[in-house]
Amino acid sequence: MPDIVVVTLGNIDNDNRVKKIIDFFSILTTKSTHSISINSQKVPNCVNIKVDHRNQRYFGIPGSNLLIIYLKFIFKLLKLRTNTYFHCNDLIALPICVFIKTIGSNSKIVYDCHEYETEVHGLTKSKKILLGLLERFLIRYVDSVITVSNSIALEYARLYKISPPHVILNCPKYIKPTKNDLFRDIFNIKKSQTVFLYQGALAHGRGIEILINTFSTMSPGNVLIIMGNGVLEKSIKAKSQTIPNIFYHTSVSTASLLDYTASADYGISFIEDSCLSNRYCLPNKLFEYIMAGLPVVTSNLPEMKHVVNSHNVGVVSDDNTATGFKEAISRVKLLNYSKLKSNISNARQQFCWEKQTLILKKIYNL
């Protein structure tokens, strides 16, 4: 079995998917497992590339910061290039791994796409074209491709004329959740009130503004808790001070996350249909809700809709608007809660990280 090097141009401390992959390799392989990332502090055996600021310029040249980061990564990886699997996370790291492979090493590349890389929210048309050309060129040097949903896998197969990529979902590790009242105790929420939870990044495109508008018009019996950090944090805090049934809680550690999740009654996964990456996504919070035992309310997007309807674990909004979501919240409260919980208990067996590692074992012949 070759050595394995997990490569990411992000901070592994904040990337649960990458950390779980590193843990998997460290436990199940007898060969050396390394990782290389930016500014990570909490991951054992990780080569840490220190970067003061991702957006700064070097020598006044726009974009040269990325070039300097690439050169630092290449210098470190050259020492590990022989008989090595590079587990490459996201398109931004792929040029580094392809360069190392093409200079005479017998390494292999597993390209792990955490989203639809060339169709993410906020990209201009010209950037989409340039990234698409880059990915089309580089993917010919890749030995295996991983995506996070079936729809994205089919798109990659169609676009690049490759075999359908493997699909590894962003699922948490399996647990048996224990119901608790953390949120009710923290915010003094009554037992008679129903607690809906949004957890995750507080960013545009996640439907957070629509959720706030929705709950601001609902009765006090329906409570929304927004938990996380991000660019919308300040405005959410302000809204929570003026709207009595909306509360804000900062993000919590991965170790305690599902304890907090399990203290809600329903989980909300509302992604706006603003780009193809969003349309075909299967966000980790959807599976966190399921693992914590919560029925879910989701956007009307194909992959989430398939999970919810095929396993009967909640309700899909008819349309991605405040009106559509208000109606979906009313519908989910009419469903038999005990039956939903039973369905969720069965779904947890499938949507857990332990199931996803079976695909990693197949890719790496473990």
Mean pLDDT throughout 81-98?
88
Fold of the domain built from segment(s) 3-169+354-364? Rossmann fold (3.40.50)
CATH of the domain spanning 182-350: 3.40.50.2000
Three-state DSSP class for residue 267: strand
Residues forming CATH 3.40.50.2000 domain(s) in the chain = 3-169+354-364, 182-350
Binned at pLDDT 50, 70 and 90, residue 254 comes out as confident
- What does the pLDDT look like over 332-357, one tens digit per residue? 999 999 999 999 999 999 999 999 99
Whether this model's pTM surpasses 0.85? yes
Contact 332, 363 (CB under 8 A): no
- What does the pLDDT look like over 122-134, one tens digit per residue? 889 999 999 999 9
Token pair, residue 302, equals 């194909």
- What does the pLDDT look like over 268-296, one tens digit per residue? 999 999 999 999 999 999 999 999 999 99
Give the number of C-alpha atoms closer than 13 A to the C-alpha of residue 136, restricted to the C-beta side.
11
CA distance 49 to 56: 15
Contact 75, 82 (CB under 8 A): no
